[in-house]
Amino acid sequence: MKNFREIELLSSYLDEQLNASESKRLETRIAADPELASVLKDLRDTRGILRKLPARKAPRNFTLTRQMVGLKPPLPRAYPVFKFSTAFAAILLVLTFAANSIVPRIGMGAAAPAYGYGMGGGGGDGTAMQEAATEAPAAAEMFVATEAPSADAPFAEMQPAPSTDNGTLREGEQAPKDVAPESALQNQAPAQNEAPIPFTWQIILLAVILLSGLAMWIIQKSASRKWQ
Amino acid sequence: MDETSLIQSAQKGDLDAFNTLILHYQDTVFNTALRILGDDDMAEDAAQEAFISAFRSISSFRGGSFKAWIMRTVTNACYDELRRQKRRPTTPLEPETSDGEEMDSPKWMADPNMTPSEKSEADELEHAIQHCLEALPTDFRTVVVLADIQGMDYTEVAAASKVPLGTIKSRLARARLRLRECLRGFEELLPASFRLEGENTL
């Protein structure tokens, strides 16, 4: 039984993969060793049988179509412009929606402590309510003066809040003081809910998106028709 | 148009140029897939997949033997197909007799241009060789198919299989040894000129 190294050498010799000196040495050994010669013949016959295996013709053509390889038709130079404008307008539209929903909330958030303080909110017990009742006019004054000066300035001038310095308040004077902050808040609410980016701009952006998208679709269709 | 120009055009996205290359190599690719997979349908699928994959990655071809490069693609496609087959075993391709047994002779694959006796001989031989090829481990089978059936040289086989030259030599020697043993079982089917000698030579 020949070792595998010898068989590997014979196999390489068969395929003329040995250099001249290796081949010469092996040939000498083959001539002297009939067993080695017999193995070589077997390997040669095996290779011969494999080479005799009939080559089949391909059962069909394997040529590729553009669809098979996902090739897209060449698009005109204007196409990227429409693509960019659609994407850009879409991003802007999203940003306008985001701005319109976030900015008023930020305004509300900043005003929230004044609301709570002025309206006596946040406290649950009677003490807190009493404190609120006594502090409310001053707080309301502050709120009116800082939050909506333009809207409430005439009102504040016409009805200046009475000072609490005198310590006691008459019953009849309580009502105007309570009404003043509430009406100020009511007047203020529409100003805060007003969207920072006008609705018209959103319509314009939407129109840009739709028109660019339509242009892209038409370009694609026309390119595909020409391609076919 | 020569092969280099066709390859260059294909690298620029010219599908017609690549299709010309396909027409030139499709028989070789299909036969390689058929001998590795041993199934016509699977070989067809693998060949088609190989060509699609080759077109998509033709930009990565950096010269050298295009045949070796395309053979590497088909070899990979065959390995993928074999892995898929392992995951989802299918029914054998060979037709069954009325008793539900597989037909011994693949006469149903015969070439209509041959005489009945030639057909019979060729079928028997092909069946025997294919049987022995399928008994080899996939790596050995690939090397022997590329080197002995497709007639590629060692360098091309190494490039196609992505293994070192030394490994190719070793695998080929082992594969031939195993095939010799296997074919000995089909001695009566082999043409007289190819009858293998003595049983205890090795």
Q: Both B14 and B78 in a single domain? A: yes
Cβ-defined contact of B196 to A42 (cutoff 8 Å): yes
For residue B151, being part of any structural domain is answered with yes
Tokens 């269709």, located at residue: A221
| pTM of the predicted structure, to 2 decimals | 0.62
Q: Both B80 and B150 in a single domain? A: no
Helix (H, G, I), strand (E, B) or coil at B154: helix
Cβ-defined contact of A54 to B51 (cutoff 8 Å): no
Using the Cβ of A19 and the Cβ atoms of chain B, whether some distance falls under 8 Å is answered with no
Q: Both B80 and B122 in a single domain? A: no
Q: Both B9 and B69 in a single domain? A: yes
Cβ-defined contact of B29 to A42 (cutoff 8 Å): no
Quote the pLDDT of residue B96: 52
Give dist(CA A36, CA A18) in Å, integer.
16
Domain boundaries, chain A: 4-52, 78-222
Cβ-defined contact of B27 to A39 (cutoff 8 Å): no
Nearest by Cα to A140 from A167, A165, A166, A120: A120
Average pLDDT (B70-82) is 95
The total number of structural domains that make up chain B: 2
Give dist(CA B59, CA B11) in Å, integer.
5
For residue B62, being part of any structural domain is answered with yes
Cβ-defined contact of A61 to B122 (cutoff 8 Å): no
- Whether residue A121 has pLDDT greater than 90: no
Give dist(CA B75, CA A166) in Å, integer.
101
Cβ-defined contact of A62 to B48 (cutoff 8 Å): yes
Cα end-to-end span (Å), chain B: 51
Using the Cβ of B51 and the Cβ atoms of chain A, whether some distance falls under 8 Å is answered with yes
Cβ-defined contact of A59 to B40 (cutoff 8 Å): yes
Quote the pLDDT of residue A129: 47
Quote the pLDDT of residue A164: 46
Quote the pLDDT of residue A8: 92
Handedness of CA B60, B62, B63, B69 (dihedral sign): negative
Average pLDDT (A179-192) is 52
Using the Cβ of A72 and the Cβ atoms of chain B, whether some distance falls under 8 Å is answered with no
Chain B partners of A61 at a C-beta cutoff of 8 Å? 22-23, 26
Q: What is the pLDDT of residues A54-89, one digit of tens each?
A: 888 999 999 999 888 887 777 888 888 999 999 999
Task: State phi, psi for A18 to the nearest 5 degrees.
Answer: -95, 150
Chain B partners of A53 at a C-beta cutoff of 8 Å? 35, 125-126, 129, 149
Give dist(CA A102, CA A108) in Å, integer.
10
Degrees, nearest 5: CA angle A99-A105-A107? 100
Max CA-CA distance within chain A? 137
- Whether residue B147 has pLDDT greater than 90: yes
Pick from A25-34, B9-18, B121-130: least confident: B121-130
Cβ-defined contact of B22 to A63 (cutoff 8 Å): yes
Degrees, nearest 5: CA angle B105-B111-B115? 90
Cβ-defined contact of A57 to B27 (cutoff 8 Å): yes
Quote the pLDDT of residue A150: 47
Cβ-defined contact of A12 to B173 (cutoff 8 Å): yes
Q: Both B115 and B69 in a single domain? A: no
Quote the pLDDT of residue B82: 92
Q: Domain limits at B190?
A: 108-194
For residue B46, being part of any structural domain is answered with yes
Cβ-defined contact of B129 to A51 (cutoff 8 Å): no
Give dist(CA A193, CA A105) in Å, integer.
9
For residue B202, being part of any structural domain is answered with no
Closest residue on chain B to A74 (Cα) = B13
Q: Both B118 and B162 in a single domain? A: yes
For residue B3, being part of any structural domain is answered with yes
Give dist(CA B117, CA B191) in Å, integer.
13
Q: How many CA atoms, within 13 angstroms, populate the side-chain half-sphere of residue B149? A: 29
Q: Both B114 and B78 in a single domain? A: no
Quote the pLDDT of residue B52: 96
- Beta-carbon contacts of B159 under 8 Å, excluding residues fewer than 6 positions away, are B64, B65, B68, B69, B72
Handedness of CA A107, A109, A110, A112 (dihedral sign): positive
A164 DSSP assignment: S
User: Distance of CA A185 to CAs A133, A141, B165, Å?
Assistant: 18, 12, 87
CA distance B156 to chain A (A): 13
Quote the pLDDT of residue A69: 86
Give dist(CA B122, CA B106) in Å, integer.
10
Cβ-defined contact of A48 to B194 (cutoff 8 Å): yes
Confidence of residue B111 (pLDDT cuts 50, 70, 90): low
Confidence of residue B178 (pLDDT cuts 50, 70, 90): very high
Interface of B with A in 145-174 (CB under 8 A): 147-149, 151, 153-154, 169-170, 172-174
Quote the pLDDT of residue B149: 94
Q: Both B130 and B187 in a single domain? A: yes
Using the Cβ of B103 and the Cβ atoms of chain A, whether some distance falls under 8 Å is answered with no
- HEC sequence for B70-115: HHHHHHHHHHHHHHHHHHCCCCCCCCECCCCCECCCCHHHCCCCCC
Nearest by Cα to A196 from A95, A91, A94, A99: A99
For residue B97, being part of any structural domain is answered with no
Q: What is the pLDDT of residues A204-213, one digit of tens each?
A: 999 999 999 9
Confidence of residue A146 (pLDDT cuts 50, 70, 90): very low
Average pLDDT (B27-56) is 95
Chain A partners of B125 at a C-beta cutoff of 8 Å? 49, 52-53
What is the rounded average pLDDT for all residues in chain A? Answer: 73
CATH number of the domain at B15, please.
1.10.1740.10
Cβ-defined contact of B149 to A38 (cutoff 8 Å): no
B189 DSSP assignment: G
- A29 token code pair: 């050994």
Using the Cβ of B108 and the Cβ atoms of chain A, whether some distance falls under 8 Å is answered with no
Q: Both B187 and B123 in a single domain? A: yes
Pick from A2-6, A27-31, A94-98: least confident: A2-6
The residue that leads in pLDDT, A14 or A170, is A14
Asked whether the beta carbons of B7 and B63 are under 8 A apart, the reply is no
Q: Both B1 and B60 in a single domain? A: yes
Q: What is the pLDDT of residues A147-177, one digit of tens each?
A: 444 444 444 444 444 444 444 445 544 544 4
Nearest to B19 among A12, A47, A63 (CB): A63
Nearest to B170 among A8, A15, A62 (CB): A8
Quote the pLDDT of residue B200: 42
**Interface A:B, Cβ pairs < 8 A:** 120
Q: Both B30 and B82 in a single domain? A: yes
User: Distance of CA B165 to CAs A78, A211, B141, B153, Å?
Assistant: 53, 61, 16, 10
Confidence of residue A53 (pLDDT cuts 50, 70, 90): confident
- A25 token code pair: 């040495």
Give dist(CA A103, CA A90) in Å, integer.
20
CA distance A5 to chain B (A): 9
